[in-house]
Amino acid sequence: MRLFVTSLLLLGLLAPGWALDDPPKKDEPPAKEEKKSPADEFKAIQAELSETQAALRTKYMATTDDKEKQKLLQENAAAMKELAGRCLKLAEANANDPIAADVLIFAGSRMQSQEAFKALADGFASKADLAALNAKLGRMRFFNAEPLCAKVVERVARQTDHPQALDLLIWVSNSAEYTPGSPAGKKAGELLFEKFIESEKLGAYCKSLANSRDAKSLERAEAIAEKSPHAKVKAAAVFAVAGINKNLSEARDLKEERRKELEGKAEAAYDRLLKEFAEADKALAQQAKGALNELRYLSIGKTIIDVAGPDLDDKEFKISDYRGKVILLDFWAHW
């Protein structure tokens, strides 16, 4: 579930850009040299980041003062900037060592360093062959890595018949998912659509489409739903069609007629998914059921379902106990 509070992201409470399977580091040999090896310096930076964030997080959770919280976030940002700077220097000094790419990936994903992404784009992503690129980047997912994504798409565009081209394009489209209007994401989408519409792997692309809210994505999802020969990809495409319509229907200040029209389209697509493709992708069918429930009973203009349950003192109550009053129902947590 997505958490909307970006400050948590900054504090590293969530680290979505993290390696999916960071390999465990081997035991370090007893280093006696005066100068740290690049690997040791990298380890030191990683350790420092963890410690700094843990300390700030503890303070952040302990305080109730909003100003103090702001101050802690600023401190966190400054510490990240400093550590990212050290990563950049380390990578620059060891440009020919494979560790340079790892260090920059770390700085980009954990400290949102745009300089690191730029350095990756100019170095590793410009020089390494596509197989090596895919091996290193494929298991990561980044936020705001536009310069890197742009370079990867540019390279893939020149050799779309390369065995790793498809995987890399899917990687770009997923990484660009949360960068609205990303030109790299757009280009990757175009190439996927033009060259790989019949691929079995296109489901992953469709899943990233499901979170978008533009006409082009909708058009593509509709076309894939029609043209893909694979039931599982079709399922993901229909899910995307539904999702995009639903996202569009949730725009603020929408005319009621238009909203209803979009909701109707979303509902029809979810229905189709459940009827035709429930077996092809069971997990997706579950999600579709939840979304359909939300559209039918929890959209604007509907009477709220009567939620009942225990309050924080374990006393049962229900929403309808408060009928006659305006209710602000707030899903909240401290975190």
Partner 1 sequence: MAMFPHERSLVKKLEGRPFVLLGVNGDPKEGLKEKNEKQGITWRSFQNERGGEKGSISTEFNLRGWPTLYLIDHKGVIRHKWLGGPPESVLDPAIEKLVKEAEEELGKKGTP
By beta-carbon proximity to partner 1, the closer residue of 73 and 128 is 73
Name the residue with tokens 């909240």. 332
Using the rule CB under 8 A, is 20 a contact of partner 1? Answer: no
Using the rule CB under 8 A, is 256 a contact of partner 1? Answer: no
> Which of the ranges 137-145, 201-209, 229-237, 294-302 carries the binding residues for partner 1, by CB under 8 A?
294-302
Using the rule CB under 8 A, is 73 a contact of partner 1? Answer: no
Candidates 21, 33, 34, 66: give the one binding partner 1 (CB under 8 A): 66
Cβ 289 to partner 1, closest distance in Å? 9
By beta-carbon proximity to partner 1, the closer residue of 126 and 293 is 293
Using the rule CB under 8 A, is 283 a contact of partner 1? Answer: no
Using the rule CB under 8 A, is 322 a contact of partner 1? Answer: yes
> Which of the ranges 76-84, 94-102, 105-113, 323-331 carries the binding residues for partner 1, by CB under 8 A?
323-331
Cβ 1 to partner 1, closest distance in Å? 6
Within a 10 A sphere around the Cβ of 55, how many other Cβ atoms?
A: 14
Per-residue tokens: 74: 């600023």
* Residue-wise DSSP of 106-140: HHHHHH--HHHHHHHHHTHHHHS-HHHHHHHHTT-
Kindly state the helix (H) or strand (E) to which residue 258 belongs, with its residue range: helix 256-276
* Residue-wise DSSP of 22-78: PPPPPPPP---SSSPPHHHHHHHHHHHHHHHHHHHHHHHHH---HHHHHHHHHHHHH
CB 134 within 8 A of CB 172: no
By beta-carbon proximity to partner 1, the closer residue of 98 and 290 is 290
Residues in contact with partner 1, counted by CB under 8 A, come to a total of: 46
Pairwise CA distance, residues 16 & 333, whole Å: 20
Using the rule CB under 8 A, is 251 a contact of partner 1? Answer: no
Cβ 291 to partner 1, closest distance in Å? 6
x/- track of binding to partner 1 for residues 175-214 (CB under 8 A) = ----------------------------------------
Using the rule CB under 8 A, is 64 a contact of partner 1? Answer: yes
Instruction: List Cβ neighbours of 195 (8 Å cut-off, separation of 6 or more).
Output: 160, 165
Candidates 75, 154, 222, 294: give the one binding partner 1 (CB under 8 A): 294
Residue 100 to residues 81, 120, 153, 180, 279: CA-CA distances in angstroms? 18, 9, 21, 29, 45
Using the rule CB under 8 A, is 257 a contact of partner 1? Answer: no
DSSP summary character for residue 272: H
Instruction: List Cβ neighbours of 68 (8 Å cut-off, separation of 6 or more).
Output: none
Contact set for partner 1, span 34-63 (CB under 8 A): none
> Which of the ranges 27-35, 189-197, 273-281, 295-303 carries the binding residues for partner 1, by CB under 8 A?
295-303
Residue 219 to residues 216, 240, 241, 242, 281: CA-CA distances in angstroms? 5, 10, 8, 12, 22
Q: Using CB under 8 A as the criterion, which residues of the chain lie in contact with partner 1 when the complex forms?
A: 1-5, 7-8, 64, 66, 250, 252, 290-291, 293-294, 298-305, 307-312, 317, 319-320, 322-335
